[in-house]
C-alpha cells in the first residue's frame, strides 16, 4: 500500500495528479520533496516558475539580478505593473507564495558567476536554464556537466525557440551530449542582437518555458522520454516544430574524451566562453 503522506488540502490541490496512474500520491510526494533552481525570472523563467509551483515542486530557487521594467510585462508574466522597479526575484517569490503556499522559495538576487555557481546550484536536484546571455548558459553547462547535475535548456529569438535537456549522467554505456557538444563556443560579442534590439513575440517564451517545465517535471517523476539527444526547434510564425538529433562530441572540451575544462575557473566566460589562455 502507498505511504500516503499528503494532507487533505494537498489531496484536493493535486487531485488531477493523484488520480493519474503515472503520478499518483507517491509521485506527487516526490515532486513536493524535489528542489529546482530556475536561473532567470524573465520571459522563460516566468511560465516555468508558474507551472513548477502549480505542480507542487516543493523547493524553488530563483536566480536573477535584475529589476522589473515596464517593457518586461509584455512577456514576463509573474510580474505586474505594481512590481516595476522591484527585484525580479522578490516579485516572482510573491507570485509563487500567492499561488501555492506548500512551496519554499529561495531568492538569489545575484548574477551567476564562476565564483557563485557552485553555491547557487548546491542543494538542488536540477537546474532550469532560463537565462538570456551566453556567458550564463556556458557557465551553467560546464558546472552541471562537472557535477552531473541535470540541466534543462531553453532559448528564444523573435518568433523562434529552441529546447533540449541534458541529464549529464557520466560513465554509462551510452555517452550523452552537453551544450558545448552542440555549440562549442559562443558567438563573438555583438554579433547576436538581444530582444531589446530585435523584439520578441510576447507569447513565445510562454510556449518554450512551459516545455522546459514539462521536461523538468517528467525528470523528477522518472516518467516519459526527455529531449536528451534532441534539439527541439519551434517556429511560432509557421506553428511548426522540428527535431534535430544531437550527439556527444568526442572533442568537447568539457565532456569529451580528453576534456580541457576541469573547473569553471578554466574558462573565460565573457566573450566566446572559450578556454582561458592563462
Q: Are strands 126-129 and 35-39 parallel, antiparallel or unpaired?
A: parallel
**Cα(159)–Cα(271) distance, rounded to whole angstroms?**
26
Number of Cβ within a 10 Å radius of residue 111: 18
Q: Are 182 and 151 in contact (CB under 8 A)?
A: no
Number of Cβ within a 10 Å radius of residue 20: 12
Gyration radius of the chain over CA positions:
19
**Cα(265)–Cα(20) distance, rounded to whole angstroms?**
45
Catalytic residues: 195
167 closest CA partner among 157, 155, 153, 156: 153
Amino acid at each position: 500500500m502507498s505511504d500516503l503522506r499528503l494532507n487533505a488540502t494537498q489531496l484536493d490541490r493535486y487531485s488531477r495528479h493523484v488520480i493519474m496512474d503515472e503520478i499518483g500520491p507517491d509521485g506527487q510526494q516526490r515532486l513536493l520533496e524535489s528542489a529546482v533552481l530556475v536561473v532567470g525570472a524573465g520571459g522563460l523563467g516566468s511560465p516555468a516558475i508558474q507551472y513548477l509551483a502549480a505542480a507542487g515542486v516543493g523547493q524553488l530557487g530563483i536566480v536573477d539580478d535584475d529589476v522589473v521594467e515596464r517593457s518586461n510585462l509584455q512577456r514576463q508574466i509573474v510580474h505586474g505593473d505594481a512590481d516595476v522597479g522591484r527585484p525580479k526575484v522578490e516579485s516572482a517569490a510573491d507570485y509563487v507564495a500567492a499561488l501555492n503556499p506548500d512551496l519554499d522559495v529561495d531568492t538569489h538576487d545575484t548574477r551567476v558567476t564562476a565564483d557563485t555557481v557552485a553555491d547557487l546550484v548546491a542543494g538542488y536536484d536540477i537546474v532550469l536554464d532560463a537565462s538570456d546571455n551566453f556567458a550564463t548558459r556556458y557557465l551553467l553547462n560546464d558546472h552541471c556537466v562537472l557535477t552531473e547535475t541535470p540541466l534543462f535548456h531553453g532559448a528564444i529569438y523573435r518568433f523562434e525557440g529552441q529546447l533540449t535537456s541534458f541529464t549529464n549522467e557520466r560513465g554509462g554505456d551510452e555517452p550523452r551530449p552537453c551544450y558545448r557538444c552542440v555549440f562549442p563556443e559562443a558567438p563573438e560579442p555583438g554579433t547576436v542582437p538581444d530582444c531589446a534590439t530585435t523584439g520578441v513575440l510576447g507569447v513565445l517564451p510562454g510556449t518554450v518555458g512551459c516545455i522546459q517545465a514539462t521536461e523538468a517535471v517528467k525528470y523528477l517523476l522518472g516518467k516519459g522520454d526527455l529531449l536528451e539527444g534532441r534539439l527541439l526547434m519551434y517556429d511560432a510564425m509557421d506553428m511548426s516544430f522540428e527535431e534535430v538529433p544531437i550527439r556527444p562530441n568526442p572533442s568537447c572540451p568539457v565532456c569529451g574524451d580528453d576534456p580541457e575544462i576541469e573547473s569553471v575557473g578554466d574558462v573565460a566566460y565573457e566573450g566566446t566562453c572559450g578556454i582561458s589562455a592563462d
